[in-house]
């Protein structure tokens, strides 16, 4: 299964690279497939590459759904984790 996440472009770098922000997590990605992306745009990120642009409303709806899902299924505390 593959997962691509919406992230906001925070900074443009040389050579079609950028820093994106996803909930406070900043990551360097490639904009080679979306060279039109600008600071403030939302892009869909998959394995370190922006694979498309996303309008702000759609990105915010998607991020809100991810937050809802996280609230419904909180990560287990270390005491609740099953040993492997």
Structural domains in the chain, CATH included, are: 5-72 (2.30.30.140)
Q: Tell whether the model's pLDDT for residue 69 goes beyond 70.
A: yes
* Sequence-ordered alpha helix ranges (H) in the chain: 56-72
pTM of the predicted model over 0.85: no
pLDDT at 72 (0 to 100): 86
Instruction: Say whether 41 sits in a helix, a strand or coil.
Output: coil
Q: Tell whether the model's pLDDT for residue 8 goes beyond 90.
A: yes
Task: Tell me which of 51 and 73 has the higher pLDDT.
Answer: 51
Q: What is the DSSP string of 2-19?
A: ---EEEEEEEEETTTEEE
Of the candidates 15, 35, 19, the residue with the CA atom closest to the CA atom of residue 7:
19
Do residues 23 and 42 lie in contact, with contact meaning Cβ atoms separated by under 8 Å? Answer: no
pLDDT in tens, 21-68: 988 999 999 999 999 999 999 999 999 999 999 999 999 998 888 888
d(CA 69, CA 8): 20
């Amino acid at each position: 299964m593959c997962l691509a996440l919406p992230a906001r472009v925070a900074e443009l770098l040389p050579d079609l690279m950028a820093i994106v922000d996803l909930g406070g997590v900043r990551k360097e990605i490639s904009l080679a497939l979306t060279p039109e992306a600008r600071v403030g745009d939302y892009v869909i990120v998959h394995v370190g590459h922006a694979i498309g642009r996303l309008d702000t409303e759609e990105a915010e709806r998607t991020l809100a759904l991810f937050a809802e899902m996280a609230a419904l299924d909180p990560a287990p505390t270390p005491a609740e984790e099953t040993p492997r």
